[in-house]
Amino acid sequence: MASLGNRVHRDQYDAVVTDCLFCRIVSGQIPATVVTETDTTLAFRDIDPKAPTHVLVIPKEHHPAIGDVDPVLAGQILATAHQVAKAEGVDESGYRLVFNTGGDGGQTVFHVHCHVLGGRGLTWPPG
């Protein structure tokens, strides 16, 4: 079982997975505009985009945060993110990959996900 950090107690783990928005997208219970899919990852458009290109890349397995993901799967998430950037035509002009982790990090869905943002100049620092 993956570590759930301070926000979720172990006895709530099954409810988190059952009620996980992204797990429901992976299972097809909730529709999403899929950009690409691999055996281990799914990439789909964010429903509240913050840039012309805003795609989320998630592992198909439930992992609450990036620290819960093994290095091989983390690499697969990054490889899928790069595929998305190429497919969206932002790989040469530039794009940003963002992992929000934990409440203070801005994570609102506790299923690890990588934001692929591009299609315009992005400022620093973010929010």
The predicted model scores a pTM of: 0.85
Which of 62, 63, 113, 115 does the annotation list as catalytic? 113
3-class secondary structure, 32: coil
**Please, what is the average pLDDT of the chain?**
88
Query: Beta-strand (E) ranges in 2-126?
Result: 34-37, 41-45, 53-59, 95-98, 114-118
3-class secondary structure, 44: strand
Domains of the chain and any CATH numbers:
10-118 (3.30.428.10)
Residue 11 pLDDT greater than 50, yes or no: no
61-84 mean pLDDT: 96
113 a catalytic residue: yes
User: Alpha helices of the chain — where are they, by DSSP H?
Assistant: 13-19, 21-27, 71-88
Q: How confident is the model at residue 14 (pLDDT cuts 50, 70, 90)?
A: very low
61-74 mean pLDDT: 95
